[in-house]
Amino acid sequence: MRKLAAEALGTFALVFAGTGAIVINDVSGGAVSHVGIALTFGLIVLAMIYALGEVSGAHLNPAVTLGFYFARRLEGRSVLPYIASQCFGAILASVALRAMFPDHARLGATAPAGPAMQSFVLEAILTLLLMFVILSVSTGSKEKGVLAGVAIGSVIALEALFAGPISGASMNPARSLAPAIVSVRFDFLWIYLTAPVLGAAAGVVSCRCIQEKGCCQAVCRES
């Protein structure tokens, strides 16, 4: 229960701060800025890794949880409880933002700025890179250590900086699902539920092929 509570709290903080920055940027006439939004996402993830990494691993993301499972670093029985806790925390955050900003239309929900397939591919690649870094700097199923928070938070901020204007740089099904549910905006939600999972799976394969000796042959045999 401590792990599930940590995942719920951490994802609440991620969605509250990250999508909250988007909402406040909208209502304040751009005071936060695109750079500020990207840094907010990166910094809140960095903080939650250091605060919760020793407890639950600070996944804060269903795609990351599935990635750890695909990499055989997380037991199968933990996957659904982790994902449920993450979605619960994310939805609570969007409900809190709705209570404070009742007139905001989307509450930071993600949507493609161009063709849907363009954002789908972009989200998959972004999550691949994120999962590769997470697996490379984490221990077992836990994102912890002196440099883990800095590395992962930096990747999230970097990807949000350059890809945010096109796809929203979600890389996280819970982060996109929560504002979509609370604002009742389900257009293009399928992109942000499926592409990050595919990207995380590809990130696992990439990490194994680069970080583990002889794993390319092992991956080919398993597939």
- 139: helix, coil or strand? strand
pTM: 0.89
Domain containing 35 — which CATH number? Answer: 1.20.1080.10
Q: How far apart are CA 77 and CA 66, in angstroms?
A: 12
Query: What pairs with residue 30 in β-bridges?
Result: none
The CA distance from 44 to 24, in Å, is 16
How confident is the prediction along the chain (223 residues), in pLDDT tens digits per residue? 899 999 999 999 999 999 999 999 999 999 999 999 999 999 999 999 999 988 988 999 999 999 999 998 889 999 999 999 999 999 999 999 999 999 999 999 999 999 999 999 999 999 999 999 999 887 665 665 667 889 999 999 999 999 999 999 999 999 999 999 999 999 999 999 999 999 999 999 988 888 765 444 333 344 4
Measured between alpha carbons, how far is 215 from 77 in angstroms, rounded to an integer? Answer: 26
- Per the CB < 8 A criterion, the answer to whether 107 and 182 are in contact is yes
Q: Count up the domains in the chain and report the number.
A: 1
In angstroms, the CA 106 to CA 68 distance is: 31
Query: What's at 15, amino acid-wise?
Result: V
Residue 125 parent element (H or E): helix 116-137
Question: Taking a C-beta distance cutoff of 8 angstroms, is the pair 46, 150 a contact?
Answer: yes
- DSSP for 142-165, please give it: B--STTHHHHHHHHHHHHHHHHHH
Q: What is the DSSP letter of 61?
A: S
What Rg, from alpha-carbon coordinates, does the chain have? 16
Range(s) of the domain holding residue 34: 2-222
**CB neighbour class for 62 (10 Å; exposed up to 12, middle 13-18, buried from 19):** buried
C-alpha angle 117/119/121, rounded to 5°? 70
